[in-house]
Amino acid sequence: MRFISLIILLLSTHLFAKEVTLKTPQGGSFAIHSTEGFISTDQLIGKHVFLFFGFATCPDVCPLTLQRMKQLASSLTEAERANFRFLFISVDNERDTIEKLKSLKNTYGNSFIGAVDSDEKLTEITDLFGARYRRFKNKKNHLVIDHTDSIFHIDQQGKWVSTIPFGSSVESMQKELRVKTPAPQIIHPARSAKLLDQNLQCDLGVKPCSIKHGRDEFTLTLSPYPITTEKPFYVSVTAKSQNLKPVEVDFQGVTLNMGFIRPPLSQVSKDSRFETKKLSLPICELDRMEWTVRLIVTEKTGKLHYLDYRLITLE
Amino acid sequence: MTLRIAHPYNRSMVKVLSLFLVLTSLSALGSTPYCFDVDGMTCSQCVKKIKEAFSEFSYLESTKVSLKEASVTILSKDSLSPAQESHLLKTFKDLKYKAKKVKCASSP
């Protein structure tokens, strides 16, 4: 009897796992402890907010970004500056305090708002934007912090309108503020999709991998080899199918949350070849990182399905 | 003219000899690892920064950075001269990391 229950449980778990909800981060309002007190993003409506996740003792990305923000603020007119805020959320709540962030405000001016909160709150906020952060100690017991390095632009209506890549120039960010960017239309913030099939034996890091499902066949190729975390690459899909069209490809860290990475696929030729734009995966502390690469395909009716592939990136 | 090796023992010997020759030449061509304990690598950007800096050295084959182990392993095409080694250490210093050369687990 116990054996039968176990079989039923295993079967139901298996069937349940076949349907997933594909969530698309779309920003949203939040409140956090900051250098201006407990502040809600609703209070910042009417201002352009550039949101960044970092930490005070960060040696490279944060000082460079903070410096660019300072330069950007000084390059703006007085009226523009009054309507611009740089919201620096520290993901190092072990060492960064509001007092410490206030000292950054002295350096980086009135446009700067420093904020820090509990891990629960930080995760809630990073999830809104598909960002990630992770703290861990190295073998010398020193704290290492990994975090998303892009800037999230929230417009004067409180809508997340764009993601500015790390290292963007002051001029491009100035343009970003001056030219009205329409908020992206996220028609389906959460959609359910059913598993069609999977091929977890083949490693996309070294060769193309195919999945045959009935008469359909989908071959995924990442190039150029070898696929590593810091090197940009392309994803291409060859689809042999009458009814299903590839739309997106989603990269998920198997053991670590690596944030939202789901580039769209565009058809590049009549022979059912689809490609993403150039993308790169974030670096993590693992020497060997395993990813689930989920190919999302759609029926003509809009019903979604997915196929799971595997990728291993080596440091 | 083709060389015919009829005896099975001779065939095995040729196989062993070929394997020996391949291994010897591979070992002669093999890279030399140099390992460093590195202080100050506190975020993932450090990985990019270090790899980019060392990619400029034509005599290096690859650079592996481990944030967790606080270490950098560099593979060199040949053995490095003392001047090249100190150049590597200076590069770490210029990047604001404290690096110390250590014995690699797999070094000769």
| Higher per-residue confidence, B106 vs A267 | A267
ipTM over 0.85: no
Q: Is the pLDDT of residue A106 over 70?
A: yes
What per-residue confidence (pLDDT) applies to A68? 93
Report residue A61's pLDDT band, with 50, 70 and 90 as the boundaries. confident
Give the Cα separation of A55 and B42 in Å (integer). 11
Q: Which of A139, A286, A315 is the closest to B64 by Cβ?
A: A315
Q: Is the pLDDT of residue A304 over 90?
A: yes
Q: Which residues contact A60 (CB under 8 A, 6 or more apart)?
A: B43, B45, B46, B49
pLDDT single digits (tens) B48-63? 889 889 988 888 998 9
What per-residue confidence (pLDDT) applies to B3? 45
Q: Tokens 């391949």 appear where?
A: B22
Nearest CA in chain A to B69: A139
Which H helix or E strand runs over B63? strand B60-66
Nearest CA in chain A to B41: A144
- Asked whether the beta carbons of A73 and A111 are under 8 A apart, the reply is yes
> In a mutagenesis test of the B interface, which of A57, A60, A143, A231 is the best target, namely the one with the most B β-carbons within 10 Å?
A60
Q: Is the pLDDT of residue A290 over 70?
A: yes
| Chain A residues touching residue B47 (CB < 8 angstroms) | 230, 283, 315
Give the Cα separation of A42 and B71 in Å (integer). 45
> In a mutagenesis test of the B interface, which of A64, A135, A283, A314 is the best target, namely the one with the most B β-carbons within 10 Å?
A283
Judged by average pLDDT, the poorest of A93-107, A197-211, A267-281 is: A267-281
> Which alpha helices (DSSP H) does A32-128 contain, by range?
61-75, 78-82, 98-108, 119-128
What per-residue confidence (pLDDT) applies to A179? 85
Three-class DSSP category at A291: strand
- The answer to whether A138 contacts B65, with C-beta atoms less than 8 Å apart, is no
Q: Is the pLDDT of residue A285 over 50?
A: yes
Is the Cβ of B47 closer than 8 Å to some Cβ of chain A?
Answer: yes
| Chain A residues touching residue B45 (CB < 8 angstroms) | 59-61, 149
Give the Cα separation of A45 and A110 in Å (integer). 17
Is the Cβ of B78 closer than 8 Å to some Cβ of chain A?
Answer: no
pLDDT single digits (tens) A107-166? 899 999 999 999 999 999 999 999 999 999 999 899 999 899 999 999 999 999 999 999
Closest CA to A51 of A38, A34, A37: A34
Give the Cα separation of A253 and A259 in Å (integer). 8
- The answer to whether B47 contacts A57, with C-beta atoms less than 8 Å apart, is no
List beta partners, residue A31. Answer: A40
